[in-house]
Chains A and B, each alone.
Chain A
Amino acid sequence: MTLTPTAPAGPAPGASVRAALATGARPPAPGSLSTSLTFAWRALLKIRHVPEQLSDVIAVPIIFTLMFTYLFGGALDGSPRAYLQFLLPGTLVMAVLLATVYTGVNLNTDLGKGVFDRFRALPIWRPAPIAGALIGDALRYLLACALVLALGLLLGFRPHGGALGVLLAVALVVVFALALSWVFTLLGLLLRSPNAIMSVAMVVLFPLTLASNILVEPDTMPGWLHTVVDANPVTHLVTTARAAMAGSATAGQITAVLLASAVIAAVFAPLTVRLYNAK
């Protein structure tokens, strides 16, 4: 060898860096759950440092609940308070589903950054960054639910199904939202920019949420639209959430929501993971 490394005798980093290198023994590799939870912790840290990212989760539920209650309440049900009884489970679903797009936006933003190269060069369970992000998203969905419910109760919404019924409705909405999130993780991997995801998301989410029974029952709709609304899984989710909050959800309804969630996840999760691994 012609070149011996210059002895790092004097300069500041030498000794302490050498000491740090000497103590850097490798611990046993962590499991996939522990790794996913670490990524969920990262999502929470990011919320703490960049709380603005919660603005959609906070503003949208409040705006939608207030707006629809007072815009349509008098016309549709005689009074805002009467309409709220019907509407609230629907705005809950709408608020959470609209928040799913950020799963894709965040993933896409992350992928463009150097730190993801580092994650991908680590000996960890490959989909852990995505799984961890979804756990973080579940917390955002719960926050949206809590806001809608608190506002609803304040405005006079009374769930006859009690706390248990409400919790069941929230659980179903979050499960469905997590399944739908995989659609956006896939878009997050496929599309070039966060803006592109937002554009595509609007095209997907507006029909999905508006062509449903969130705002009105489909009875007065033309036949073709009635068919569309009935086929929309969001309609079944809203019907079940309403029933749960009213204390009348059936096992069949619950199973249907879980099945729809499972089908969506079963299609989009493997596609996402495969595309992510191939990147």
Chain B
Amino acid sequence: MNSYSDFAVETIGLTKVFGATRAVDGIDLSVPSGLVYGFLGPNGAGKTTTLRMLATLLRPDGGSARVLGHDVVAQADAVRARVGLTGQFASVDEDLTGAENLVLLGRLLGHSSRHARLRAVELLDAFDLADSAGRQVKTYSGGMRRRLDLAASIVVTPELIFLDEPTTGLDPHSRNQVWDIIRTLAWEGTTVLLTTQYLEEADQLAARIAVIDRGTLIAEGTPGELKTSTGRGALQVRLHNPDQRAEAARTLSRVLELPVHLDLDPAQLTTPGADPERATLALAELTRAGLPVATFALGQPSLDEVFLALTGHPTQEEAA
């Protein structure tokens, strides 16, 4: 078991087949402990199926998976005793109140009635739900539901928490609240494994990202590694003289062999997908042509661009 000790999750050839569809098709993963790890991919990529197998809710059809050193099939109860789960759709009981939901889970996890109630009050306070504790969850807003859902996952502090699309459908304010909670979890040493179809979310939260597409793992690494692997960002140039913008655009386009966008700022131009070496040549060419540059920046590619480069199709293709 020693080989597993450094990893919160390790899978070998993990596979799940639904009828003729190989929903998860041989995924090998090693998720280090104590950080936020993101499964990134479009709808139907196999992220949720993978997560459900790791959370012992689905039995793999092939390969194996260990969570915190325990096999998800043979030692399912040992896994269940160490992880928390927040499903894609609110995994709380809508007919019950927020407080009742937390007391129910406290009781199921082994707390006495009294302790379960105390814990519920503590969590409702911590997640800013004290005012709504006595209301049925069906009356909650999306953000409140998500917070209750997260609170329910830490009635007992888990070593690892699975979050399936934790911010899907939330407004920006609620999303930021959930992001703060997720960062706090990781800060306190809980490994967080989340799925998301939002590249921004993966970029904001995850220390490492697994890009999943059509049931297979197509890339893995830190957000920075994934971005540099495609090697192309956007070259942004700001001229001293806005009147020279048309000429500068022609020069950049010629050297970079790429279309150049004119930004709202009348002195600024952006060329997405610029190769770094050619970008330096292009800057020199501008100077040589008497088109002085005020500022320039060669940005990292966005994860959207990375995803497109890795899969050959944009993230939302399968959702459409």
A binds B: yes
Instruction: Please give the distance in Å from A209's CB to the nearest CB on chain B.
Output: 30
Residues of B close to A185: CB separation below 8 A: none
Cβ-defined contact, B95 with A118, below 8 A: no
Determine the distance from Cα of A34 to Cα of B108 in the docked complex, in whole angstroms: 8
B contacts with A, residue count (CB < 8 A): 64
Interface: A25 (CB within 8 A)? yes
Cβ-defined contact, A38 with B108, below 8 A: yes
Instruction: Please give the distance in Å from B105's CB to the nearest CB on chain A.
Output: 8
Render A102-144 as a binary contact track against B, CB cut-off 8 A, 1 for contact: 0000000000011101111111100000000000000000000
Cβ-defined contact, A21 with B185, below 8 A: yes
Q: In the complex where A25-B156, A121-B83 touch, is A115 in contact with B91 (Cβ < 8 A)? A: yes
Cβ-defined contact, B88 with A3, below 8 A: no
Residues of A close to B88: CB separation below 8 A: 114
Residues of B close to A122: CB separation below 8 A: 80, 105, 108-109
A contacts with B, residue count (CB < 8 A): 47
Determine the distance from Cα of A83 to Cα of B247 in the docked complex, in whole angstroms: 104
Render B205-225 as a binary contact track against A, CB cut-off 8 A, 1 for contact: 011000000000000001111
Q: Which residue of A lies closest to B145 (CB)?
A: A114
Residues of A close to B109: CB separation below 8 A: 26-27, 29-30, 122
Residues of A close to B206: CB separation below 8 A: 3
Cβ-defined contact, A16 with B207, below 8 A: no
Residues of B close to A252: CB separation below 8 A: none
Instruction: Please give the distance in Å from B74's CB to the nearest CB on chain A.
Output: 15
Cβ-defined contact, A114 with B90, below 8 A: yes
Residues of A close to B183: CB separation below 8 A: 5-6, 8
Interface: A75 (CB within 8 A)? no
Render A34-51 as a binary contact track against B, CB cut-off 8 A, 1 for contact: 110010011001100110
Determine the distance from Cα of A14 to Cα of B97 in the docked complex, in whole angstroms: 24
Determine the distance from Cα of A245 to Cα of B177 in the docked complex, in whole angstroms: 63
Interface: A220 (CB within 8 A)? no
Q: Which residue of B lies closest to A38 (CB)?
A: B107
Interface: A22 (CB within 8 A)? yes
Interface: B252 (CB within 8 A)? no
**A30: which of B90, B108, B207 is its contact (CB, 8 Å)?**
B108
Interface: A24 (CB within 8 A)? yes
Determine the distance from Cα of A2 to Cα of B32 in the docked complex, in whole angstroms: 13
Q: In the complex where A21-B157, A118-B91, A121-B80 touch, is A42 in contact with B104 (Cβ < 8 A)? A: yes
User: Which chain B residues have a beta carbon within 8 Å of chain A's beta carbons?
Assistant: 35-36, 52, 55-57, 59, 77-78, 80-81, 83, 85, 87-97, 100, 104-105, 107-112, 115, 119, 122-123, 125-128, 136, 151-152, 154-157, 177, 180-181, 183-188, 190, 206-207, 222-225
